[in-house]
A and B are shown apart, each in its own frame.
Chain A
């Protein structure tokens, strides 16, 4: 049996073990440790008695309080729904136009819509709805499928070129890739389209190019973009006479659009957002474009 020695600093005996110079004091465990342990054990035992805790084969101890996380969650959802019901019921029932004229309801739309928009739409359209190349700007006055709240609500419901059975389908054909127009013809159409929204840009282009472009436009484009190029919201064909461009209004972008075509996709939100949420979002988006003015 090894013999302990007295540690001069603490006055305690060592256990007598020596591991390559390391010794241990034979000091009792401090009382506070036992107290602390007792306190946490008592806390745990009380908690087990009150809450669901120990498994018993196919069941478990349910606890005296009868609390279960599923019930708590349902109660909280219920509470949340009640908190919202003051305005949610009104928005659900009122017509879009009525809501637009009610400043108080519109205040709620702006608050609630901002979070909905941030979580669901901002990834593509930007937090301010300003869009970007390939993603329409929602804060301006140009609308592919119409800017009335009903139309926006419908776009949200079914999406564009989406997987929804009733989805809106919009397609700009690939005139170049599919050999419907030659490269020179496309350049002439680009010149003509430029002249529609920015005549200054084509001032130095030859007359015949413009005339030729107009002819090709009349033969190929008017069925969707209308004779004057102002577009048709029924088929999602954009207005070419304004300054709003999704894929860019410079010559190169216009050329690419006509050559390769465009098939932008907006997902549908039916089934992912509730009718109430889509209604709020439609109102929010329309309000956003009106605010910019």
Chain B
């Protein structure tokens, strides 16, 4: 992989990784005896590992100019594998925390294994580790293919991918030793946050530079979504993480916001992280891999436009529905609720655009588990966006808030939509990336599909039941006008559902393990593509451009 980099890129990579190593050293020295020092050692080790990797291929001959006639796929391959590794880790942690709620003794009296520390390891592992790597990898693939252009350089994609994974590593290792800002989905402390900003801006610039090199007159829908994802996540991340560190040699910081403003900023961030990380990004994925696999044109270009701008505009307002019936002023809650209701329209329009694209290809959905993954993902997208708008209505929220219904809703989206669309995309992508005729075992894809679907259904049904029972128990009064149940009785009533949830999660975890094995065997064993077929997957080099580059519509 290093031999593919030009001499200049190798030098740049070496300089940057040595600079990062020094940064790690400074953190380790300055923060000695503080969690920051521990993280300094992690940064140092990570950077030294990358340095040695670069040195190992540093003196290889210059790569052939022939490479410029092909897409640059090496970082995508690594991204797919990293995504699956994080997926297995994150989902395993998910099963563990689920089990912990049913059997609290599974914390083994160890501080690092307490629920409060393991739970962010799960959420960060699956959202940022699994989801984020999948988004980065597929976006690199989609932006090149739909632009029919190779990435402008070979250094920045590696910086983005490895830098991002360093961030995930700092995040997760920090939770075990108690480093957290206590902001949900934004737990990492200030130094990790600053690092992510650097990585993310590089990502945005790389994406725009590739688009600028495109050989197609128009920019495809998938790219709009990926760009919205990158741009808005940058904005959310920077604003919500504004904080003052207590010292430059300590991990702890205090948020720039306090009280209800802090809560509102956090949920503006939290809800739009769902919107632009878990929705927009994965819609970009869906808009490329679903029509590609189905070999059908998108149902309606105009519908794509309406849904894109609807989602982008309306989501921004909806975050306050996380704070119904709190100290947040009533009018802010009203806005959050009404915008959530209007948001249902573009959400369903996107789901419909995906499902109706399959018209004329439903026989493929029946026969091909990969396409079925994406079809079911679109269905779950529709279900969970409906549920989201419904739960945002204040009186409904008074029943559902603080209960497992919320957890069930999140997982209908996270398992049913995000993970299933990712699996569908990866199964479409893997044979293309590794130039194979097909996946190693289509039967195992089928097995994975049913494990994932069964796991999701068991999980979501368990949480619907437990959530509604909880909500009702908390609001039941006896005839003397006092609460009929104590809190602990409602906890007791959850036990069977918590066991069912663990079982559902276990099925889902088994699914991704099967999938990972299948991908690895595809790389090693699946029959390779003939050269002529592989040749179709190449960029248009400037000499033979079919149409001049012009501004997008």
- Residues on A lying within 8 angstroms of B by beta carbon are 2, 7, 9-10, 14-15, 17-30, 33, 36-37, 40-41, 43-44, 47-48, 51-55, 60-61, 63, 67-70, 80, 83-84, 86-87, 108, 111-112, 114-119, 122-123, 127
Q: A23 to chain B: which residues have CB within 8 Å?
A: 297-298
Most chain A Cβ neighbours within 10 Å, of B145, B345, B484: B345
Residue of A nearest to B360 (CB): A9
- The yes or no answer to B313 lying at the interface (CB within 8 A) is no
Q: A48 to chain B: which residues have CB within 8 Å?
A: 334, 338
- The yes or no answer to B531 lying at the interface (CB within 8 A) is no
Evaluate contact between B480 and A51: CB separation under 8 angstroms.
no
Interface residues of B in 290-335 (CB under 8 A from A): 291-292, 295-304, 306, 310, 325, 329-331, 333-335
- The yes or no answer to B517 lying at the interface (CB within 8 A) is no
Evaluate contact between B301 and A22: CB separation under 8 angstroms.
no
Evaluate contact between A119 and B480: CB separation under 8 angstroms.
no
- The yes or no answer to B344 lying at the interface (CB within 8 A) is yes
> Which of B10-18, B163-171, B485-493 contacts its partner?
B485-493
| A-B contact sample (9 more), CB < 8 A, given A19-B148, A27-B301 | A24-B301, A37-B345, A44-B341, A44-B342, A51-B334, A52-B330, A67-B330, A114-B486, A115-B482
Q: A52 to chain B: which residues have CB within 8 Å?
A: 329-331, 334
Determine how close the nearest CB of chain B comes to the CB of A42; give it in whole angstroms.
Answer: 10
- The yes or no answer to B175 lying at the interface (CB within 8 A) is no
Determine how close the nearest CB of chain A comes to the CB of B140; give it in whole angstroms.
Answer: 14
Interface size on B, residues (CB 8 A): 55
Residue of A nearest to B217 (CB): A2
Evaluate contact between A10 and B359: CB separation under 8 angstroms.
yes
Q: Residue A28 contacts which of B300, B335, B359 (CB distance < 8 angstroms)?
A: B300
| 22 contacting pairs across A/B (C-beta < 8 A) | A17-B220, A21-B295, A22-B288, A24-B221, A24-B297, A25-B300, A36-B348, A40-B341, A40-B345, A41-B342, A43-B338, A44-B338, A47-B337, A53-B331, A61-B331, A68-B330, A84-B482, A118-B486, A118-B487, A118-B488, A122-B486, A127-B489
Interface residues of B in 467-485 (CB under 8 A from A): 477-478, 480-485
Q: Residue B216 contacts which of A17, A36, A83, A119 (CB distance < 8 angstroms)?
A: A17
- The yes or no answer to B146 lying at the interface (CB within 8 A) is yes
Q: A24 to chain B: which residues have CB within 8 Å?
A: 221, 297-298, 300-301, 304
- Residues on B lying within 8 angstroms of A by beta carbon are 145-146, 148, 216-218, 220-221, 288, 291-292, 295-304, 306, 310, 325, 329-331, 333-335, 337-339, 341-342, 344-345, 348-349, 352, 359-360, 477-478, 480-489, 547
Q: B344 to chain A: which residues have CB within 8 Å?
A: 40
Q: How far is the CA of A111 from the CA of B295 in the complex (A)?
A: 65
Most chain A Cβ neighbours within 10 Å, of B288, B291, B297, B487: B297
Q: How far is the CA of A14 from the CA of B297 in the complex (A)?
A: 8
Determine how close the nearest CB of chain B comes to the CB of A48; give it in whole angstroms.
Answer: 7
Determine how close the nearest CB of chain A comes to the CB of B420; give it in whole angstroms.
Answer: 20
Evaluate contact between A122 and B488: CB separation under 8 angstroms.
yes
Q: B547 to chain A: which residues have CB within 8 Å?
A: 2
Determine how close the nearest CB of chain B comes to the CB of A92; give it in whole angstroms.
Answer: 14
Q: A53 to chain B: which residues have CB within 8 Å?
A: 331, 334-335, 338
Q: How far is the CA of A114 from the CA of B483 in the complex (A)?
A: 10
Evaluate contact between A127 and B488: CB separation under 8 angstroms.
yes
Q: Residue B480 contacts which of A37, A43, A68, A111 (CB distance < 8 angstroms)?
A: A111
Determine how close the nearest CB of chain B comes to the CB of A75; give it in whole angstroms.
Answer: 14
Residue of A nearest to B298 (CB): A24
Q: Residue B297 contacts which of A25, A40, A69, A123 (CB distance < 8 angstroms)?
A: A25
Q: B291 to chain A: which residues have CB within 8 Å?
A: 22
Q: B218 to chain A: which residues have CB within 8 Å?
A: 17, 19
Q: How far is the CA of A37 from the CA of B349 in the complex (A)?
A: 10
Residue of A nearest to B547 (CB): A2
Q: A61 to chain B: which residues have CB within 8 Å?
A: 331
Evaluate contact between A26 and B301: CB separation under 8 angstroms.
yes
Residue of A nearest to B324 (CB): A69
Evaluate contact between B331 and A44: CB separation under 8 angstroms.
no
7 smallest beta-carbon distances between A and B, as pairs: A118-B486, A83-B481, A9-B360, A44-B338, A24-B301, A23-B297, A52-B331
Q: How far is the CA of A217 from the CA of B359 in the complex (A)?
A: 92
Q: A28 to chain B: which residues have CB within 8 Å?
A: 300, 302
Evaluate contact between B301 and A15: CB separation under 8 angstroms.
yes
Q: How far is the CA of A2 from the CA of B360 in the complex (A)?
A: 24
Evaluate contact between B482 and A22: CB separation under 8 angstroms.
no
Determine how close the nearest CB of chain A comes to the CB of B214; give it in whole angstroms.
Answer: 10
Determine how close the nearest CB of chain A comes to the CB of B306; give it in whole angstroms.
Answer: 5
Known contacts A19-B220, A41-B342: does B334 contact A10 (CB below 8 Å)?
Answer: no
Known contacts A44-B338, A44-B342, A48-B338: does B360 contact A115 (CB below 8 Å)?
Answer: no
Q: A80 to chain B: which residues have CB within 8 Å?
A: 481
Determine how close the nearest CB of chain B comes to the CB of A132; give it in whole angstroms.
Answer: 15
Q: Residue A55 contacts which of B331, B480, B489 (CB distance < 8 angstroms)?
A: B331
Evaluate contact between B300 and A69: CB separation under 8 angstroms.
no
Q: How far is the CA of A84 from the CA of B480 in the complex (A)?
A: 6
Evaluate contact between B482 and A111: CB separation under 8 angstroms.
yes
Evaluate contact between B303 and A33: CB separation under 8 angstroms.
yes
Determine how close the nearest CB of chain B comes to the CB of A114; give it in whole angstroms.
Answer: 7
Determine how close the nearest CB of chain B comes to the CB of A54; give it in whole angstroms.
Answer: 7
